[in-house]
Chains A and B, each alone.
Chain A
């Protein structure tokens, strides 16, 4: 048992000393920041590197004609999205409503909205 503990201690010390001395011997970086990231953080960084500054579609969308034939298209990767319509330019409040996939919806001010599927980044 004592020799086992001794071996574990010696090997871990040797590993750490060698590893540290290697790191200090040459110019060592933490690697490429995009390679360093993972998961959603990496997907966001890759989207931005590809020129997409709005990967989660959170910025305000300027309203188009918004008629029944040409509704405002709201991107979403989900089945529904909360949409806030600024009905008039000087409006002091935002009118919120749930917009579901496949069901175009009209705001009380008359503008139409439609949910369009957008693949996740």
Chain B
């Protein structure tokens, strides 16, 4: 190892890729079983094994970075490009839902009463909880930037506070979104409106939960002193992801909640 004089990270053998693939197979079979028989036993097995594998795989990566010092400048540049390409693919994933929403809403079919929102759909009031949610996500964008600048200023205390507030705002958003879903007068089965509304906002909600988890992991790592002033890409990736989720919400709010109501 001491003779190594290249900046690349040649990874050690790991059980996680094959185990993650097998658990993805179980997870997918579990979803199919759930859809067809309304029984979620296999889904829970797949979900649990996937969560355990994700935890251990990412634990290994943070050990390689923090405790083994394997993440050189070149390696972090590779991860930066990986995250940029991943978020780009996520942008296109959401574009597909906006495409179907505008396809259905810009020229509503006769079956919908040639109206948007369709006849009989009671939409949410955009200036109530959805506007509060917009405010929450915009504020969390500020607090995550505060946490980032505190990290770059080598300020442990304020980066902890900024991260803590971002995670709390993320949880608050999910809570309010859950309340809205609970109160909703229409369901995912209510024709084009219900489908496009719940698929788009539902996938956004899952992304908020993933982003909040990502930021919470960063907070735990920060409290274990994993990050330094110049090396904290795990946090930066979480912040990029969080900004992406924030921007998707602005588009959802403007097009589906506001214009679409």
The secondary-structure label for the interface of chain B is loop
From A28, A33, A39, B68 is in contact (CB under 8 Å) with A39
Interface string of B61-102 (1 = CB under 8 A from A): 000000111111110000000000000000000000000000
Are the C-beta atoms of B5 and A118 separated by less than 8 Å?
A: yes
CB contacts (< 8 Å) of B72 on chain A: these are 40-41, 44
CB of B189 closer than 8 Å to a CB of A: no
- CB-based contact B7/A36 at 8 Å: no
Complex CA–CA separation, A118 to B4 (angstroms): 11
A120 contacts the other chain (CB 8 A): yes
Chain A residues with CB under 8 Å of B71's CB are 41
Distance of A44 Cα from B7 Cα, bound (Å) = 8
Q: Is B154 an interface position by the 8 A CB rule? A: yes
Q: What residues of B have a CB within 8 angstroms of the CB of A39 in the complex?
A: 68-70
> Who on chain A is nearest to B2 by CB?
A120
| A18 interface contact, C-beta 8 A | no
Residue positions of B touching A, CB distance < 8 A: 2-7, 67-74, 151, 154-157, 160, 225, 227-231
Provide a sorted-by-A list of 12 A–B residue pairs whose CB atoms are within 8 angstroms. Answer: A27-B155, A29-B229, A31-B228, A33-B229, A36-B225, A36-B229, A39-B70, A40-B4, A40-B72, A57-B5, A77-B5, A120-B2
